[in-house]
Homo-oligomer: A and B are copies of this chain.
């Protein structure tokens, strides 16, 4: 879901990418992104592409041929990171744990101690493919101790969960517009620490990507230079600025609490229908619920009916989880009580119609009970 103010911003007439009006929009975006990432990093900008372009930006700028990168893999997006490391000539050390479990910091520390020099550790904060939350802070301390760069994917967390780039010693942190920022896809925030920028500026070989080369892009975003690199996606920048304004108006802590409250309510409702959380206890995301399907549910049939009859889109399982789980986004504008009530009611109706499920009303009641337990639930 995208707020109407953001849609309206998308339709604003265009100005040039070096127009003074646009330069001031760029300043606004940078200031708001620093606030959102909780960082003072100078190189904090949106990348001209979707989330995977921002992921590739982190890798192709920091990694040179021969560099070793430890990549945490517990879902689709860790695998994607490892592929990007290898494509630009790096060596990916895959630290795999079963899907649905977080990485163990002791395991990471062991590798940092015993494996040869590791240039960077790359992990995913919120695995969109499994709904798993990876705690970040401890790993950041380990990276700092072992002088490894710390690269973190916050595609499904930034703007919905706490992301604290400076306090957690993150060197490269990227996200996407269409998740918790509730902006249309096509522009993606990234921030690099000063240490990371120094490494980018002193590479021995140019990045494999010209389009994503931050040593060049930084000069366009530098207030004192504004050197043309590529044409920025103007309308997407309008939309991103408006999305960031909405987050600032709500307040980041209030927004994070809303995601927590709503995810608990939805999970309570789903459990009454026979769904169970897929990730290990205590590691469930609040922005995306990944739930195991009860055996009586036909994955495609119900998801198709939800989309066609109720206009509700739910993600299916990716890779080995296909047909076994659902991934229900509760991000930004989508994390609203009315959407949760609509989904639970629709599911109850479909289960009654197709499987003669008898407990109509129980799921909605469970969600409502959860909300009323949390203070300010109807604030």
Contact B185 A231 (CB under 8 A): yes
- Complex interface: chain B residues within 8 A of A231 (CB): 50-52, 176, 178, 185
Chain A interface, >50% SS class: loop
Contact flags (1/0) for A193-237 with B, using CB distance below 8 Å? 000000000000011111100000000000000001111111110
Complex alpha-carbon distance, A239 and B318, angstroms: 30
Contact A2 B14 (CB under 8 A): yes
In the assembly, how many copies of this chain are there?
A: 2
Complex alpha-carbon distance, A34 and B242, angstroms: 35
- Complex interface: chain B residues within 8 A of A236 (CB): 184, 186, 233, 235-236
- Complex interface: chain B residues within 8 A of A235 (CB): 10, 184-186, 235-236, 239
- Complex interface: chain B residues within 8 A of A51 (CB): 230-231
Contact B19 A210 (CB under 8 A): no
Within 8 A of B (CB), among A30-68: 48-53, 55-56, 60
Q: Could you tell me how many residues of chain A have their Cβ less than 8 Å away from some Cβ of chain B?
A: 54
Of A49, A232, A307, which is in contact with the most chain B CB atoms at under 10 Å from its CB?
Answer: A49
- Complex interface: chain B residues within 8 A of A234 (CB): 178, 184-186
Contact A233 B318 (CB under 8 A): no
A115 at the interface (CB under 8 A from B): no
Complex alpha-carbon distance, A211 and B55, angstroms: 9
* Chain B residue at minimum C-beta to C-beta distance from A237: B186
Complex alpha-carbon distance, A234 and B313, angstroms: 15
Contact of A80 among B7, B210, B233 (CB under 8 A): B210
Contact A211 B10 (CB under 8 A): no
Contact of A53 among B187, B211, B307 (CB under 8 A): B211
Contact of A16 among B228, B233, B313 (CB under 8 A): B313
Contact B185 A233 (CB under 8 A): yes
Of A81-89, A132-140, A341-349, the segment with at least 4 beta carbons within 8 Å of chain B is: A81-89
A117 at the interface (CB under 8 A from B): no
Complex alpha-carbon distance, A132 and B75, angstroms: 49
Contact of A228 among B7, B49, B239, B318 (CB under 8 A): B318
- Complex interface: chain B residues within 8 A of A86 (CB): 206
Of A84, A184, A206, which is in contact with the most chain B CB atoms at under 10 Å from its CB?
Answer: A184
A11 at the interface (CB under 8 A from B): yes
Given contacts A185-B233, A186-B236, contact A210 B11 (CB under 8 A): no
Contact B19 A13 (CB under 8 A): no
Contact flags (1/0) for A336-370 with B, using CB distance below 8 Å? 00000000000000000000000000000000000
Contact B210 A56 (CB under 8 A): yes
